[in-house]
Amino acid sequence: MGNLDIRWIPVSRKTHNPVQDHDLEADLRHDGKRYRLLFVVKSNGEPRRVAEFAGLVHAIKKTGYHVFIAPSISSRSRDICKENGIGFVDLQGNALLRLNGIFIERFGKSAEKAEKRTLRNLFMRKSTRIIRIMLSNPTKRWTIGELASEAMVSLGLVHKVLSKLNAEGYLDKVRGATRLKSPGDLLDSWTRIYRFENQCVTGFHSPLGRSDILQALSALPEGTYAVTLGAAASLVAPFVRSTDIYIYTTGEEKLFIKGLGLTPVDFGGNVYIVEPYDEGVLFGKRSINGVTVVSDIQLYLDLFNHPTRGREQAEFLRKKRMGV
């Protein structure tokens, strides 16, 4: 790439101007070209802070390449920097410089671990109830009371989750109400941490064929179950054919064993009973052709990291039916 020559330049601060778009300045020379680098140093690299800085950069329109420096910068913060033509450096091993003739990008392992911790904190069991309610109607402005009622959680939990979402740059607050900003990015973050197989799944064999199983399910009470994965996708947005039937249920296993003629198996089953990790999994379930199916949000999550072309089916579902 050639030699890089960098010279630091003192930054003079004017006390009468409270808006300061950079803390350090450098003159970079490479292969006869000269670049002006403007560094801002922050103690917090959360997406909301990065977005605020990007807005300041665009407002001031100062000539030079801005670089955001913080102890840790998440993938969402990195994406905001890239979208706005801003570089970044953090103490976790992340760095990006994208200039004419210079391209440096690094991603540190410690940053990946830190980001997973952040996502796990955001997508805790009951917290996801609030998130799925908002994703199901991404343009609606919600009050804290409405979210607590819809998600069946406390006002305190709603406040904590909204605070985290705001810190990650996912909220747009106006006059006591809030709605999602970039709901598709929020769903993408959820898919990075969500794994269907982390739930309790029990395999069975049914002598019935796939269509007969679905017919038998339609005769069972709606509130007792919800179908997911391939069987659900075949009813909602058919793309990839699947022979296995996955059924969420809460304490109604005997009903299915009898109604579908199920026999427990260790391997080779065609019907799987799944115990949902939280009641929110069944939020938004609906009846399609007499069969109760999970919501599009839950179906997308279950499919995305599932083997045998689950991601293809998930993306088809998102394109055809989901507004995020």
Domain of residue 61, CATH code: 3.40.1350
By the 8 A CB rule, do 171 and 179 touch? yes
For residue 101, the SS3 value is: coil
> What would you measure as the largest C-alpha separation in the chain, in angstroms?
81
Same domain, 103 and 138: no
CA distance 283 to 285: 6
In a domain, 104, yes or no: yes
The segment with the largest mean pLDDT, out of 77-81, 240-244, 297-301, is 297-301
Residue 217 lies in a domain: yes
The Cα–Cα gap between 164 and 120 comes to 12
Whether residue 173 sits in one domain with residue 74: no
- The answer to whether the beta carbons of residues 71 and 90 sit under 8 Å apart is yes
Q: Please tell me whether residues 315 and 206 are part of one structural domain.
A: yes
24 and 128 both lie in a single domain: no
Sign of the CA dihedral running 183, 188, 192, 196: positive
Q: Given 168, 193, 218, which residue is the final one in a domain?
A: 193
| Structural tokens at position 16 | 């009468």
Q: Within a domain: residue 117?
A: no
Domain housing 97: 4-108
For residue 231, with 0-12 CB atoms within 10 Å meaning exposed, 13-18 middle and 19 or more buried, which class applies?
Answer: buried
Domain end among 53, 83, 108: 108
Is residue 69, in this structure, part of any structural domain at all? Answer: yes
Instruction: Give the integer Cα–Cα distance in Å for 195 and 123.
Output: 12
- In this structure, is residue 62 part of a structural domain? yes
Range 91-98 average pLDDT? 87
pLDDT tier, 201 (very low <50, low <70, confident <90, very high otherwise)? very high
The per-residue pLDDT for range 60-93, each reduced to its tens digit, is: 877 889 999 998 888 888 888 998 999 999 988 8
Same domain, yes or no: 189 and 203: no
Residues 189 and 235 grouped into a single domain: no
Q: Which of 60, 80, 108 is the last residue of a domain?
A: 108
Answer whether residue 115 is part of any domain: no
Higher pLDDT, 117 or 186: 186
* 183 and 200 housed in the same domain: no
Residue 260 lies in a domain: yes
- With vertex at residue 87, the alpha carbon angle to CA 82 and CA 89, rounded to the nearest 5 degrees, is 120
Average pLDDT across the chain, whole number: 86
Which tokens is 29 given? 């020379």
312 and 222 in a common domain = yes
Q: How far apart are CA 36 and CA 272, in angstroms?
A: 60
**Based on the domain organization, do 182 and 206 belong to the same domain?**
no
User: Do 225 and 281 have their domain in common?
Assistant: yes
Q: What is the pLDDT of residue 121?
A: 77
Is pLDDT larger for residue 260 or for residue 116? 260
pLDDT classification of 113: cutoffs 50, 70, 90: low
The answer, yes or no, to whether residue 152 has pLDDT greater than 60, is yes
Based on the domain organization, do 132 and 148 belong to the same domain?
yes
Task: Give the C-alpha separation, 289 to 16, whole Å.
Answer: 68
- Which of 36, 20, 17 is CA-nearest to residue 28? 36
Question: How sure is the predictor about 20, in pLDDT bands with cuts at 50, 70 and 90?
Answer: low
The CATH number of the domain holding residue 286 is: 3.30.460
Question: Are residue 53 and residue 85 in the same domain, yes or no?
Answer: yes
pLDDT class of 11 with cuts at 50, 70, 90? low
Top-confidence range, 14-23, 74-83, 309-318: 309-318
Structural domain count, the chain: 3
- 312: which 2 tokens? 């293809």
Residue 63, domain member (yes or no): yes
SS3 261: coil
